[in-house]
Structure 1
């Protein structure tokens, strides 16, 4: 009986709350006739009975999310551009115990579909496990890295991806090594922040269980130190990460040494990819933003300085350094100095000493 009375009272109060909300002139609110008492009563009733609305609000939130996804997919479709969203096909870990990712015409959703450039990539253990991406500045490396990551995140949250085709195994860990900055307050330089971020990633890899899969992107790691040690550190760490059979990785780098991993470690799944540029008849740089297999040999940093108006004298010297590196060569490690040789004592001196002793 008491339970019935309590339930009846709750229903009555919830009914009052709904009636108050319907009667409140929320769309044409007046500060003179604002019905403050009814508004306060509504608030108190809602706080008292908020649990009643929990399930309804949860379902409403799911419905709103589904409608938003549908609207997004339809808006990109009706624009008639080459890029749109597709439903992701998931490969269950039971079918593929190793990580797998396949994207066709993938584009970065932070760009307008009309201007975005699509790229293809297929990765899995036994094939391409680690992509080493090189190429000129502003060629689209970071855009590609983040585009792939957005595709995986959107797939695992909403089931869609900015691509014509997306197929993947669900990843337990998605790691992004991008835009690493120093932390002056904590006393960490840029390089120390990079070291800490990579160490955190290595610790996560070690803790993964056999059936848990990982995907990671690295944007120019260890760039906060001198290029000799930075390249050596990046080469060694990536080579170590490739020993894990449950992870896929993409790294963007300017270190030529890292491109050697494909040939020197042929069983670990390293594959070189590149972005490239062309030049028009006037010598102006044209960006393709396309990702293709191969090692990049293009350098355009000085050309960019020229386009930005740097003086011809500075550009001339910069190009001379590139064309004649031996003239400006300076190692970060000093060569070992040969040990000083002590002159052997002559037999004549020895004989005099012996004679003196006698």
Structure 2
């Protein structure tokens, strides 16, 4: 490319001016940083205040969108002998008021004059996992200072929430789905305290019925008898209901449903009801799915 002498001079002048501009900007930037550093504590205080206000406003806005009923949680002193969780008409906070109007609220009562552990049975798609999740979310919301989507919420603060929900493997660690399940369960048994909340969803389903039932029985018995923590334990092992029927710290409950044997149809009522569910009605659900 040919540049005339005049054009070369113009390019040199431009580059020099850009270098001067860059040096001036660097100097200004350094002065701004030094000035900011002089008031570092003041700025950090403002940032913390803004973050706190943002959190409070977020919780306030969330409380206005939870629908009714909605309550401020009541905390019970940890000096009592047993930890308590008493929630009336609990809903899932992700249910949008005015749209999902048919969501069925449920009561959860653990501790105090009730057993601290619920053995939960019910049909597939009956709402067991949703109940487990909304119970965890309610405690998290309560302990972070937010309103709870329930008519009333009383609880002794929990030190930790342990959950074993869903199924997944860990290829990188060479762990099967069942191994991951047992590893997480072992962590719960080793670290849970009487102030913890433990949620176990269909423990033992990753192996044979005989072995899975033995594991589920042992874990449930240990949690309810030795640790004495609050918890919900969902299962499809009907024999567990018979074995745990007379345990003083375990309440048998199920998600209610209506079964039409002639039509092979199940109507899910999504209501937590005392007693054990007689069947899982897996064949009925398979029929509904077109299998």
TM over 0.5: yes
Deviating beyond 4 angstroms after TM superposition, the runs of 4 or more aligned structure 1 residues are: 279-284
Scaled by the length of structure 2, the TM-score of the pair is 0.81
Looking at both structures, which has the greater relative contact order when contacts are Cα pairs under 8 Å and sequence separation is at least 6? 2
Rg larger for: 1
Provide the C-alpha distance between the structure 2 equivalents of 1:122 and 1:188, rounded to a whole number of angstroms.
Answer: 36
Of 113, 127, 135 in structure 1, the residue corresponding to residue 122 of structure 2 is 135
Provide the C-alpha distance between the structure 2 equivalents of 1:298 and 1:286, rounded to a whole number of angstroms.
Answer: 14
CA contact (8 A) 2:257 2:269 kept: yes
Question: Are 1:223 and 2:205 counterparts?
Answer: yes
Question: Are 1:201 and 2:188 counterparts?
Answer: yes
Pair 185,245 (structure 1): closer, same or farther in 2 beyond 3 Å: closer
Of 53, 68, 71 in structure 1, the residue corresponding to residue 43 of structure 2 is 53
Alignment-derived partner of residue 276 in structure 2: 295
Alignment-derived partner of residue 4 in structure 2: none
How far 1:282 sits from its partner (Å)?
Answer: 6.4
Provide the C-alpha distance between the structure 2 equivalents of 1:307 and 1:152, rounded to a whole number of angstroms.
Answer: 35
Q: How does 1:1-358 map to 2 (within 5 A)?
A: 41=29, 44=33, 48=37, 49-77=39-67, 83-94=68-79, 96-113=80-97, 114-124=101-111, 127-205=114-192, 208=193, 213-244=195-226, 246-264=228-246, 266-267=247-248, 269-278=249-258, 284-310=265-291
Pair 109,279 (structure 1): closer, same or farther in 2 beyond 3 Å: same
How far 1:304 sits from its partner (Å)?
Answer: 2.3
Pair 46,242 (structure 1): closer, same or farther in 2 beyond 3 Å: farther
Cα displacement string for residues 314-333 of structure 1 (whole angstroms, at most 9, x for unaligned residues): xxxxxxxxxxxxxxxxxxxx
CA contact (8 A) 1:172 1:213 kept: yes
Alignment-derived partner of residue 16 in structure 2: none
Provide the C-alpha distance between the structure 2 equivalents of 1:140 and 1:241, rounded to a whole number of angstroms.
Answer: 23
How far 1:308 sits from its partner (Å)?
Answer: 2.4
How far 1:276 sits from its partner (Å)?
Answer: 2.2
Over aligned residues, Cα RMSD in angstroms? 2.5
Cα displacement string for residues 91-138 of structure 1 (whole angstroms, at most 9, x for unaligned residues): 0112x2321000000011122233422001211056211100001000
Scaled by the length of structure 1, the TM-score of the pair is 0.67
